[in-house]
Amino acid sequence: MDKVIGALVTGLAQGAMIALVALGYSMVYGVLKLINFAHSEVFMMAAYLGLFVIAAVGGADHPIVAGVAGTIVAMATAALMGVIIERTAYRPLRGRGRGPLVRVTPLVTALGVSVLLQNLAQLLFTAKFRPYPSLFGTGALHLGGAEMSYSRVAILVVSLSVMALLEFIVKRTWFGKAMRALSSNEEAARLMGIGTGRVIATTFGLGSSLAAVGAVLYCLDQSQVYPMMGVVIGTRAFVAAVLGGIGNITGAMLGGLLLGVLGEMVKLTNYSGGVDVLVFVVLIVVLLVKPAGLMGSVRVEKV
């Protein structure tokens, strides 16, 4: 039972990090109906930026200052990167063409930007694996008979706090209302005086900043930084977004948490090496039973 409790708590921490990245996929799709495959590479770039800032500030010698500074700089730079990608790669394609190419062209562009960022990272940082310094020490919090490291306690608290703040922004602020209006009908939102271009750019920036939080937390907890790291976490985050209901922010949170818990529970079995296989099996089953995802809804589109 202690192992199950420990796996559950660890899975929630792992799932919260996945959810932070999944939120970016879901937000962009909700507004533009576009899968931003470059999002995982923004995650990777943010991990590098966080590492460099944490090392420059002092790393383990000043853990709180270094962690906060690294996260803030990574968030700001990732947000700027997201806005630049939207302005240069996606905005010129909006409103062009008719028929199936309207959605295929941005999708191919997203894949192109993803490959570009991967190669740019290899050019700038080489393919060398770079470890994050340990900011939380080796202590652990005891939960009954189970233990949870201080790093994962901090990760769980920060991740859930950020997701709660995002939920407030989307549901209670003018920007959130504008984003939901744009998601429902872009033309109607424009006629109501909403600056659709500004809202879309802000959505990219906000989603990218959330990915940066997840990147720093993920690397502090369990990973080194390398140019291809975005592929692994990005795939899981995309599955989480689809599982919860692509375009549904609450669904992305739920999907990430479920994947995290499921992965840790599988590690307690004799099939611990097949976590990703089981994740995709669950995804296929869910989509066969409920194609819109756990919290998604099917809407009729006029073409």
Whether 52 is covered by a domain: the verdict is yes
Whether 170 is covered by a domain: the verdict is yes
Structure token pair of residue 237 = 């985050």
Whether 110 is covered by a domain: the verdict is yes
Whether 116 is covered by a domain: the verdict is yes
| 212: nearest Cα among 12, 54, 2 | 54
Q: Report d(CA 78, CA 206) in Å as an integer.
A: 9
Whether 211 is covered by a domain: the verdict is yes
Q: Which residues contact 198 (CB under 8 A, 6 or more apart)?
A: none
Whether 298 is covered by a domain: the verdict is no
Q: What is the pLDDT of residue 64?
A: 86
Report which DSSP code applies to 143.
E
Whether 128 is covered by a domain: the verdict is yes
Whether 228 is covered by a domain: the verdict is yes
Instruction: Count how many domains the chain has.
Output: 1
Q: What is the pLDDT along the chain (303 residues), one digit of tens a residue?
A: 667 777 887 888 888 888 989 988 988 888 888 889 899 999 999 999 999 999 999 887 888 899 899 999 999 999 999 999 999 999 888 766 555 556 678 888 999 999 999 999 999 999 899 989 888 766 666 665 566 777 777 778 888 888 888 888 888 899 989 988 888 888 888 888 888 889 999 999 999 999 999 899 888 887 789 999 998 888 889 889 988 888 888 888 889 988 888 888 888 887 777 777 877 887 788 888 888 888 876 665 554
| CA torsion angle 29 30 32 36 (round to 10) | -20
Q: Is 251 exposed, middle or buried (0-12, 13-18, 19+ CB in 10 A)?
A: buried
Q: What is the pLDDT of residue 105?
A: 82
Strand partners, 148: 141
Q: What is the pLDDT of residue 284?
A: 86
Q: Which domain holds residue 59?
A: 2-135+146-289
CATH number, domain at 262?
Answer: 1.10.3470
